[in-house]
């Protein structure tokens, strides 16, 4: 197992524009714990951020139709949440659609570096997390969704999404379960 943590859309516009379900302080602490765990074990983290142009040229059809701007380049809302605490040397990739694979070099980068297990954390569970998980599955990656580190504003669609993904596409694990899994993997490697 060669894992990488993908932080997806941990940007100020998401809690700024949407009434998310989880209490913000608890959620951000979960994110800090997950990223800290990966950093302590020198496991890679790749930050995936949405960034749209103000001239609307990169906007989705829904954004244009509803005149709804989000994560516009150069705005406060496009900036990462402090809870992520991106460190020097951690790669960043930008996207304009829900899936982190659409229109990016993500698949090439992951394959180049030999990553086979993707841990997904971020916003929104029923949109970008779902689309990225399904696209990853179709590319034969093992997927873990960090249950404590995803959020959305839509409880109904989050439940449907997570029920489906956990049945067919991904393992849905808490931070503690992720820590236990990767500690066990590290111990097996040390014994071999």
Per annotation, catalytic residue among 71, 78, 128, 149: 128
d(CA 8, CA 59): 18
Residue 49 pairs in a beta bridge with: 94
Q: Is 128 a catalytic residue?
A: yes
Give SS3 for 146. Answer: strand
Q: Say if residues 48 and 8 touch (Cβ distance below 8 Å).
A: yes
At CB < 8 A and 24+ separation, what contacts does 181-190 make? 181/144, 182/3, 182/37, 182/41, 182/43, 185/1, 186/41
Cβ-in-10-Å burial (0-12, 13-18, 19+) of 33 comes to: middle
Q: Say if residues 146 and 117 touch (Cβ distance below 8 Å).
A: no
Positions annotated as catalytic residues are 128
């Amino acid at each position: 197992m060669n894992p990488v943590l993908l932080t997806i859309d941990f940007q100020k516009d998401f809690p700024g524009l949407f009434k998310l379900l989880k209490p913000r302080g608890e959620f951000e602490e979960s994110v800090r714990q997950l990223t800290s765990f990966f950093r302590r074990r020198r496991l890679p983290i790749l930050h995936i951020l949405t960034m749209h142009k103000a001239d609307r040229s990169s906007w989705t059809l829904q954004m244009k139709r509803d005149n709804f701007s989000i994560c516009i380049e150069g705005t406060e809302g496009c900036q990462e949440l402090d809870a992520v605490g991106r460190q020097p040397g951690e790669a960043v990739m930008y996207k304009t659609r829900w899936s982190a694979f659409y229109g990016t070099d993500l698949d090439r980068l992951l394959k180049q570096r030999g990553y086979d297990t993707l841990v997904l954390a971020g916003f929104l569970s029923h949109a970008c997390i779902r689309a990225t998980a399904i696209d990853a599955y179709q590319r034969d990656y093992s997927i873990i969704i960090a249950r404590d580190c995803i959020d959305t504003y839509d409880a109904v669609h989050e439940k449907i999404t997570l029920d489906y993904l956990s049945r067919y596409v991904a393992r849905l694990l808490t931070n503690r379960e992720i820590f236990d899994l990767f500690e066990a993997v590290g111990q097996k490697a040390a014994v071999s």
